[in-house]
Amino acid sequence: MKTKIEFRGVSKSYGEVQVLHDLNFSIEENEFFVLFGPAGAGKTTIMKLIAGLEFVSSGTILIDGKDATAIAPEKRKIRMAFENFTLYPHLTVFENLASPLRNNKYSKQEIKNRVQKTAQMLEIDPYLNRLPKQLSGGQKQRVSLGRALVMESGVYLLDEPLAHLDAKLRSELRSEFQNLKTSLRNSTVVYVTHDYTEAMSLGDRVCVIEDKKIVQIDTPQSIYNNPRNVSVARMFGQPEINILPMETDLHKKTVFNQLFEIPLAGTPLEAHLDLYGKPSVIFGCRPRDWEFSLEHGYFQDGFVQGEVVGFEIKNFRGIILSRLENGQYISVSCDEYSPVAPGSRIYLKPNPAAGYLFDADTEQNVSLGREM
């Protein structure tokens, strides 16, 4: 079953309050499409519009080229799983999975086959005879998801299916979702998350939504390499990108503040700086793209000093948080596992070739075009 969904100039208001503004995008047949953005951005509202649980205030949604307003929700062949889905406590896992099929008058044999297939896909087949209370949190979550996936469908709408799980379970299920993606390759999946690692690892394309609007739609790698603005750059990356307001020296080809100067001559940013041409700019550089030393004299020039204020280990890498004399915080990631003591002096130097320039007024990326 193949389904394509198109939004053309779609806006949505609840009473006086607009929550989506002029959305234009397409979700392709068989695509795993991730809606990503902060809380309240309008992600769930988009899902409800696709499902037919809400109606557009203006614009059109096309499902396989047909105006969706003419298609009743039950005719849309869409299956949904929202974050707070529940299981029937008195029914076994098998019966919980079978109930949507029974409601849709599937034959006994077909129910058996589809429940088995779904349970295998989600690796819950050993628990088919158990009651929900005999399952772990992650297993319950998978059964809930199974209830959405057990019915054949052109579109699956999955709204934060990994929400409310602890970090370890989330990461386990995230890798299982990779397999699930393969099993669902004949369907269109729209997946909502506000977790950037989920968006990065699952999406064929990611649609970043912020403040009622689409900010960027692209492959996860392209968004990471070429974030459209400061806000997307901050959302895509953990630890977050360092953002420094700087002045420009167009003759020397540098950006600078009262503490240090970053030379851009000979880097891909040089041409972008020339084109930009304004006196103030925002320089962005991810934590992994900084060098650091705890020894004075290690760098000859182009470094800034700070004080270490924190150290943590995340994803097998150390992260040093430091504060510069002007109060600005800088995170750098490092291979070392040995903590750096708070209060230590630290000398930091960004790799300008890996940096970004953002317009000081609009915060738009003025250094797009990076290939990595």
Residue of 39, 70, 72, 341 that binds ligand ATP (CB under 6 A): 39
Residue of 1, 2, 9, 14 that binds ligand ATP (CB under 6 A): 14
Minimum distance between the CB of residue 42 and ligand ATP, rounded to whole angstroms? 4
Binding range to ligand ATP, per CB under 6 A, among 36-44, 88-96, 266-274, 290-298: 36-44
Q: Which of residues 73 and 339 has its CB atom nearest to ligand ATP in the complex?
A: 73
| 42 touches ligand ATP by CB under 6 A | yes
In the chain the beta strands, taken as DSSP E runs, fall at 5-14, 17-27, 32-36, 58-63, 66-67, 78-81, 155-159, 188-193, 205-210, 213-218, 242-249, 254-256, 261-263, 280-285, 290-293, 304-314, 317-324, 329-334, 345-350, 356-359
Minimum distance between the CB of residue 45 and ligand ATP, rounded to whole angstroms? 3
Got the DSSP string for 202-225? H-SEEEEEETTEEEEEE-HHHHHH
| 19 touches ligand ATP by CB under 6 A | yes
Calpha distance 351→80 (Å, rounded):
45
Judged by DSSP in three states, 126 sits in helix
| 370 touches ligand ATP by CB under 6 A | no
Calpha distance 11→75 (Å, rounded):
23
Give rounded-to-5 percent helix, strand, coil for the chain: 30, 35, 40
Calpha distance 2→106 (Å, rounded):
21
Residues touching ligand ATP, count (CB under 6 A): 11
Minimum distance between the CB of residue 233 and ligand ATP, rounded to whole angstroms? 20
Q: Which of residues 14 and 337 has its CB atom nearest to ligand ATP in the complex?
A: 14
Calpha distance 60→10 (Å, rounded):
6
Q: Which of residues 21 and 288 has its CB atom nearest to ligand ATP in the complex?
A: 21
Minimum distance between the CB of residue 36 and ligand ATP, rounded to whole angstroms? 9
Q: Which of residues 41 and 97 has its CB atom nearest to ligand ATP in the complex?
A: 41
| 41 touches ligand ATP by CB under 6 A | yes
Contacts to ligand ATP by CB under 6 A: 14, 19, 37, 39-45, 194
